[in-house]
Chain A
Amino acid sequence: MPQYHVKYVFLFLSSALLFSSCVNLKHVTEFSKSAVESVETFETLSSSFSQTCLEDCQSKNIAALNIHQTDCDCSQNEEADRVTALIYHGLQGYFYALTNISDNQLTNYQTDGLTNSITSGNFGSIQVNEADVKSYSNIITLVGRAFTDGYRRNKIKTYISNANQPVQDLLHFLDLNLAGNLKNKLEVQKSSLKNYYFDLVRDKKLSTYERTKFAEDYFSRIQEIERQQNELAAYSKILNSIAEGHASLNSEVEKLSDTELKVALAKYGSQLKRHSTALLKK
């Protein structure tokens, strides 16, 4: 085969490999990074099942004017916190893994060292030409990347589609525990406080000053509980955005480089940032 034909074959092969291998998954990485960052705002939430249980127990002792033998059994609530944390860690781990494997840098292998190692020159009977060294090195990089990138892309598609249902379920259960069960436990706490303060504020045997103080205490505690409930509501929005974003990623998984998918993921990414900022301000 004449020399120039070989060059064309190389050129064709290189271009074909370049097009098939350079799949930009930046939008997937960006979305999963936002998902990690926003799901981790879980750690900033100021309420928990066991904390609420301890507060309820303390209120009960205060109402009974009791400061002796005030031990509280909050073991079931500690268990509820463990269950909630387990689900949170499951989601956090998945989005970390998705961020790592979709990172373009992962298969952007550096072969500079390899090229520099094979210096051009005359080593006894071996003659090495610098241009050849660079060409071969580039081909090695392209072939290597095409293989690993194609493999990686197919694996990511499989992971995303297999993970979608469990991810949706876990997001739902985390939301059920936080925006459902914990938020409503706080609602019960508000009712219990009203039940306690109602008679004290109305008690005409107490001075106006004392009754006013009780009313002030009541409103300040209600305000604090509502702040915690708002945190949980804001976190619920984060979980919903992640669920929608992952569902959209899953439905377009066959077209990972599709522009519509990129736009949709960018939208969910900025939505997540907005919700996280709102939660951190509360």
Chain B
Amino acid sequence: MGNLSAEQVKRLADNFMRMANALGDYRYNNIDSLTEEQNIKIKEIHNQQLAATTELYTKSAVLVLEDAQDALGKIDTITTESQELYKKLTNVQGILDRASSVLNLASAILALDVSAVTSSIQELVS
């Protein structure tokens, strides 16, 4: 199974399902002409075919990881890069806010306003 792609396994499963359904339809359409034994046998085989088919769909879904690995790696890198850019751009606002706090403090010192100095320091360290 290792060499088949997820898409190929899914196509196999689709074909299996068509075959299984054909067998099921044969049983439903010819039920009156089948012996009880034949009916039970076909019913059992039909069931086994359906069980194998559903398993193939699961296999295909698991195999998707191998096929999607490359795309997943690329998208994760791009997402991380854009998250970092977002942080950088958000930091610019932080730097501006910080600069404002420093300037507030400088203005208060120049104006010799003690209460403003206190509140500016509080703003700076908050």
Contact A113 B96 (CB under 8 A): yes
Within 8 A of B (CB), among A87-114: 87, 90-91, 93-94, 96-98, 100-101, 106-107, 109-111, 113-114
Within 8 A of A (CB), among B39-77: 39, 43, 46-47, 50-51, 53-55, 57-62, 64-65, 67-68, 70-72, 74-76
Known: A93-B79, A166-B74. A123 touches B111 (CB 8 A): yes
Contact A195 B47 (CB under 8 A): yes
Contact A77 B97 (CB under 8 A): no
Contact B17 A97 (CB under 8 A): no
A254 to B102, CA, bound (A): 41
Known: A117-B103, A118-B103, A155-B82. A80 touches B111 (CB 8 A): no
Contact B110 A176 (CB under 8 A): no
Q: Is the interface of A mostly helix, strand, loop or mixed?
A: helix
Interface centre among A52, A101, A191, A198 (most CB of B within 10 A): A191
* A2 at the binding interface (Cβ < 8 Å): no
* A202 at the binding interface (Cβ < 8 Å): yes
Contact B62 A79 (CB under 8 A): yes
**Min distance, Cβ B114 to any Cβ of chain A, angstroms:** 16
Q: Is the interface of B mostly helix, strand, loop or mixed?
A: helix
Contact B93 A188 (CB under 8 A): no
Q: Which of A118, A124, A166, A170 contacts B107 (CB 8 A)?
A: A118
Contact B68 A123 (CB under 8 A): no
Contact B110 A173 (CB under 8 A): no
B residues at A contact (CB < 8 Å): 6-7, 10, 13-14, 17, 20-21, 24, 27-28, 31, 39, 43, 46-47, 50-51, 53-55, 57-62, 64-65, 67-68, 70-72, 74-76, 78-79, 81-83, 85-86, 89-90, 92-93, 96-97, 99-101, 103-104, 106-107, 110-111
* Interface CB pairs A-B, < 8 A, 27: A56-B54, A76-B58, A83-B68, A84-B64, A90-B71, A93-B79, A98-B82, A106-B90, A107-B92, A119-B107, A123-B111, A155-B85, A159-B78, A159-B81, A169-B68, A169-B70, A173-B68, A173-B71, A176-B60, A181-B10, A185-B57, A185-B58, A188-B17, A188-B54, A192-B47, A194-B28, A195-B43
Excluding A181-B13, A185-B58, 17 further A-B contacts by CB distance (< 8 Å) are A83-B65, A87-B64, A90-B72, A90-B79, A97-B83, A106-B86, A111-B100, A113-B100, A114-B96, A144-B96, A155-B85, A166-B78, A188-B50, A189-B54, A191-B21, A192-B51, A194-B24
